[in-house]
Amino acid sequence: MIVYGRNAVREAQRGRRRVLRLWEQGDVPDDELERLCGSPDHQGLVAEVERFPYVDAAELLTPEDALVVALDQIQDPQNLGAICRSAEGAGASGIVLPERGGVEVTPAVCRASAGAVEHLAIARVRNLADFLAAAKHDGAWVYGAESGAEVPYWKPDYRGRVVIVLGSEGKGLRPRVRAGCDQLVGLPLRGRLESLNVAATAAVLLYEIVRQRTEP
Amino acid sequence: MIVYGRNAVREAQRGRRRVLRLWEQGDVPDDELERLCGSPDHQGLVAEVERFPYVDAAELLTPEDALVVALDQIQDPQNLGAICRSAEGAGASGIVLPERGGVEVTPAVCRASAGAVEHLAIARVRNLADFLAAAKHDGAWVYGAESGAEVPYWKPDYRGRVVIVLGSEGKGLRPRVRAGCDQLVGLPLRGRLESLNVAATAAVLLYEIVRQRTEP
């Protein structure tokens, strides 16, 4: 797999994957770098690395204070990358993605995450609703983020095992995933728009949990 | 000025600017739409609108609970757009940008904001440090966000007039801007990366202020 951009390549070198090959500006023609990445956004640094080491979803829930972010069919690599970066910063246990219907860890996601994916546990599951059911069985509380939810996101007590679930851009949570949440929470909207960006929502929820867990 | 994308065009139609012309998919050849936007990301909807109505920065501080976001040379239109969307959602009084050295409200910013810029007061100032000094003179408290700041962002009491200041991607706050802050606050980092994305940081700070002001 190709990784490109200064941060993404540096973190790949510090991370779990073996770096198989490295190209810097000048090693090959610029248009060849761009062709390798499928993007002009490589900042003169491109690496070939092993494929992304997805983990087993069940592992993520082992810690008693596990904090897992489940993403229901996120479409935009920028959003997935941004969520990974915030999750890594907040010390989340990891991310769960459905195998189908959404973006996975692509070169563009690595770039958008500033390399955070190299230090983050990411799992893929066949069925996200089934994962949520299993997580509840393991004692986790499952909070779904939804624009317009009555309960503000700061109301729940986020101690213990927690899964936060975020829906896709535009469509939100699918019915079975929504039904699998213990509680729906929302960010109050004080303007005229009807929703926030999913990566912004993720950052706010993650850091509210950091805040509560730091100063109970 | 050109505005493109479904949300950006819809909000322009609901907002303050006159829409001078509208193109939909099929009205003109696709490559002509793309040429108008400078981007393939138009979703088949493009409008020509009046130029962006920047406001006077001093106005933003009039309310007793003014909440202003000052951005020190943000470079990436995606980040500026995302910050505008979160600021609009959080009910911020507005955004202050320096006239030089950073991105301003371009078509890509309108698109990335999902049209939030149409409902948000945005000002440009010649000198951001001078604006912060004036804001303090008007009774505002000025909080600078900095990775690694000792004070967690949830510590201050954000009642009254507040300005939050965010630095550029990579470089952070310039020395005079940093020196113009009453207090530096940070988001704790629990992973291996040394910073968060500036738009994620903005969302977390804005919603902590919403939280505190909703449930004091």
Q: Among A17, A33, A49, where does a domain finish?
A: A49
* Average pLDDT for A181-193: 97
State the residue for tokens 């303090």. B136
What residues pair up with B168 in beta bridges, in sequence order? Answer: B172
Considering only alpha carbons, which residue of chain A is nearest residue B86? A196
**What pLDDT digit, counting tens, does each position of A12-55 carry?**
999 999 999 999 998 988 889 999 998 899 999 999 999 999 99
* Same-domain status, B66 and B118: yes
Interchain pair A116, B85: CB under 8 A: no
ipTM score: 0.97
Look at residues A102, A187, A169, A42 and name the one whose alpha carbon lies nearest to residue B5. Answer: A169
The Cα–Cα gap between A189 and B108 comes to: 23
The Cα–Cα gap between A69 and A122 comes to: 9
* Same-domain status, B127 and B157: yes
* pLDDT at residue number A81: 98
**CATH code of the domain in which B141 resides:** 3.40.1280.10
* pLDDT at residue number B215: 86
Beta strands B183-186 and A183-186, pairing class: unpaired
Q: Is the pLDDT of residue A64 over 90?
A: yes
The fraction of chain A above a pLDDT of 70, given in percent, is: 100
SS3 B111: helix
State the residue for tokens 């995450």. A113
* Same-domain status, B71 and B167: yes
User: pTM for this structure?
Assistant: 0.97
* Same-domain status, A96 and A198: yes
* Same-domain status, B196 and B119: yes
Q: How many CB atoms lie within 10 A of CB A205?
A: 28
* Same-domain status, A67 and A33: no
Angstroms from B93 CA to nearest CA on chain A: 10
Interchain pair B199, A82: CB under 8 A: yes
Considering only alpha carbons, which residue of chain A is nearest residue B195? A89
* Same-domain status, B27 and B92: no
The Cα–Cα gap between B95 and B164 comes to: 10
Angstroms from A179 CA to nearest CA on chain B: 26
Interchain pair A189, B86: CB under 8 A: no
* Residue type at position B36: L
Query: Residue length, chain B?
Result: 216
The Cα–Cα gap between A134 and B167 comes to: 42
**What pLDDT digit, counting tens, does each position of A91-144 carry?**
999 999 999 999 999 999 999 999 999 999 999 999 999 999 999 999 999 999
From chain B, the residues in CB contact with A215 under 8 A are 154
The Cα–Cα gap between B17 and B2 comes to: 12
* pLDDT at residue number A30: 86
Tokens of B155: 């510590």
* pLDDT at residue number B54: 98
* Same-domain status, B84 and B145: yes
Interchain pair A152, B86: CB under 8 A: no
CB A12 within 8 A of CB A19: yes
* Same-domain status, A163 and A195: yes
CB A198 within 8 A of CB A77: no
* Average pLDDT for B152-167: 98
Q: Is the pLDDT of residue B216 over 80?
A: no
* Average pLDDT for B30-34: 89
Nearest to B200 among A192, A200, A215 (CB): A200
Domain that holds residue A40: 2-49
From chain A, the residues in CB contact with B116 under 8 A are 191, 193
Look at residues A43, A51, A49 and name the one whose alpha carbon lies nearest to residue A21. Answer: A49
CB A103 within 8 A of CB A81: no
How many domains does one find in chain A?
2
* Same-domain status, A44 and A66: no
What lies within 8 Å, CB to CB, of A180 at 6+ separation is: A128, A129, A132, A133, A136, A142, A144, A165
Considering only alpha carbons, which residue of chain A is nearest residue B213? A188
From chain A, the residues in CB contact with B208 under 8 A are 207, 211
CB A145 within 8 A of CB A104: no
Q: Which of B16, B204, B209 is most worth mutating to test chain A (most A CB atoms within 10 A of its CB)?
A: B204
What phi, psi does A92 have (nearest 5°)?
A: -65, 155
Cα–chain center distance at B70: 8
* Same-domain status, A72 and A154: yes
Tokens of A82: 């941004």
* Same-domain status, B68 and B99: yes
Interchain pair B190, A210: CB under 8 A: yes
What dihedral angle (degrees, nearest 10) is formed by the CA atoms of A177, A183, A187, A193? 50
Helical residues (DSSP H) of chain A, grouped into ranges:
6-14, 30-37, 77-89, 107-112, 128-137, 175-179, 198-214
* pLDDT at residue number B47: 97
